Each structure stands twice: as C-alpha cells, then as structure tokens.
Chains A and B, each alone.
Chain A
Amino acid sequence: MPPEFIQALQDMALPTALRESAIVFPVVLSLHLAGMGLFGGMILMTDLRLLGIAMTKRPVSEVVNGLRPWKHLGLTLTATCGILILWSKVAIYYPNPYLRIKLALFVAIIIHALVFRGVYRNVGQLDRAPAIPGKAKAAAVLSLVLWISVLTAGRWIGYWEPTKPVVPVAQVN
C-alpha cells in the first residue's frame, strides 16, 4: 500500500486522539488483553475437549456449543480493540514483519474455520461417535497452534525495531 495512504489513515481524527491519550490508549490495550483473559482460554478449552484432554466428563457438544457465544463475544472485544490499536499507530506498525505474520495467521485461521466448519457445526455427531475422529483432532491441534502463534507474533510486534538509516558522521554533529 502507498505510504501516503497509510500515513493519512493514521492521521485521521479518531486514531490520533487514541494515540495521544495517556488514558484511553492503555485502556484499549488492557481491554485487548482482558478479552484474551476472559474468553481466549475458552478456545483452548474447546480444542482440549475435542482432543479428549479437558472436561471429558461433559459431552463434546455441550462444551463446544456452550462456549461458542462467549468465544464470539471475546473475539469481538479483542478484535475491536486490536483494530483500534493498529489503526492508531498504523504507519509505525505497517513495516513490522511480526504484524504481517500475525495478519497472515488470521488469514490461516479464517481458512481453518472454512475447512473445518463441519466439525464444529455438527458437533452432536461427536457425542455419539465411539472415538473422536481424526479430522476433529486435526482441527483442534491446528487451532491450538494457530492461536498460540497469533499470541506469540502479537507480543513480538513490540520488540521489532526498524533498522536505522546510516547517518554519515559529518551530519551527526
């Protein structure tokens, strides 16, 4: 994307106000993390149930269907805050390779949702199955790997610094 466009996006009123606020910016960041805290772990619990590791006393459908609306609420909260954080400093984040990795992982998560839609939609079948089929287990393992990768890439965004252009010695003084 052209750098002028990225800069103009960052210079809009809302992201500028957010970026320059000493209170609202950390509040949005805290809500981004609160979304992960309150609801992110439910993704792991869903996948661990599919793998037969967690909450095995409960039917698969009960865990998956019961947690679904709360995961959606959490995703809405976390994504909204994430988009606001990105928008407020988009010209700074844009060249960051870990941001690009994180966005690519989101594309992979959307593909994962489309490919394995049947597993999560028809979860009642798993209650009656003698064992959890391989496809459901593959969905769970991939989901765990993708979301933990998103978390890792997200944290790494904060540690990347652009390589500084070499300033000739004569210009330093």
Chain B
Amino acid sequence: MALFLAYDPSTNPLNTNEWAFPVCEVLHILGFAVAIATINMVDIRLMGIGLKKESAADLWKDTFPWTLGGLALVLISGPLIFSSDPNMYLRNQSFRFKLTMLAIALVYNYTVHRWAALSGKSGSVGFTVGLLSVLLWVSVIFGGIFIAFV
C-alpha cells in the first residue's frame, strides 16, 4: 500500500501517451473474450445445454491453452491499466469487488470447474458447477465496468 501511495503515475507512459491506455483496454477485452468464452464452452457442456458432441473433459483439454493465453493477456494488460492510477483503483469499491471475484473465479476454475469437467459431471452437479462459473465470471466483468460508475 505504502509503495502505491508514494508512486507518482504522472510520468507513466499510460498517462503520457495518447494511445497506450486504450490499447491496453482493447487487449484486456480481447483477453477476457478468449478466456471467458473458452471457459463458458466447458460450462455450456457441463450444464448439458449444448456442445454435446464433445465430452466436457475433451472440451477442457481443447480449450485449455486458449483459456490460459487469454488469462495471460488479461493479467498483463490489467496491472498496466492499474498502474495508471493505483491509488484511485485501491480506493474504488468496485475494483476491490472485481479483484475478490477474480481471485475466487480463478481458484474455482482450476479446482471445482476442472474437476467437474475432467470427471465428466452432468445432471444437477454439472449444471450447478457450470452456472456458478458463468455467474462468477460475469460478476468480474460487472465489477470492472462499475469502477467508472461508483
């Protein structure tokens, strides 16, 4: 915290270059579009509402590198955006909500969601695991947008 309080973002290229900030935002959206859509593909299968020609385990394996790549893009562009004004973000209630939900969603994805996918869960267990995953990731997006509105 003290580190951020002492940090002066006025010389940060994200604030001095007209293009840097929106480019980071575009990469952030592109990253979460790939990451969350590929996670959602597994969720759709777990919920039993589509993509039934492939097993949840195969979908997990097929999308795995793309989910990881999308998350990498998000986790690089996100901290860059954060660095443009750390003190504002740290004080922002919506940002704190977003980061909490992101941490929960990431842990959930590689524990519960992974287990359900690899063991091919269906029925009410599969449905609940998939639905929770969708809700967790949507809550992260809502948290991100509401940063500008709280």
Q: Which residues of B contact A29 (CB under 8 A)?
A: 145
B142/A66 in contact, CB under 8 A: no
Number of A-B contacts (CB under 8 A): 99
**Assuming A41-B38, A67-B41, A70-B50, what are 19 further A-B pairs, CB within 8 angstroms?**
A25-B149, A30-B142, A33-B29, A33-B144, A36-B33, A37-B37, A37-B141, A38-B137, A40-B33, A41-B33, A41-B35, A41-B40, A44-B33, A66-B50, A70-B44, A148-B26, A151-B26, A159-B18, A159-B22
* Interface flag for B81 (CB, 8 Å): no
B contact patch SS: helix
Q: Which residues of B contact A27 (CB under 8 A)?
A: 142
Stretch at the interface among B9-17, B51-59, B111-119, B120-128: B51-59
A36/B29 in contact, CB under 8 A: yes
The distance in angstroms between the C-alpha atoms of A29 and B145, with both chains bound, is 7
B145/A26 in contact, CB under 8 A: yes
Q: Distance in Å from the Cβ of A62 to the closest Cβ of chain B?
A: 5
* Interface flag for A69 (CB, 8 Å): yes
Partner of B34, one of A25, A41, A62: A41
A55-B63 in contact given A37-B32, A41-B37 (Cβ < 8 Å): yes
Residues of A38-56 at the interface with B, using a CB-CB cut-off of 8 Å, are: 38-42, 44-45, 48, 54-55
A30/B146 in contact, CB under 8 A: yes
A45-B66 in contact given A26-B146, A37-B33, A62-B54 (Cβ < 8 Å): yes
B145/A30 in contact, CB under 8 A: yes
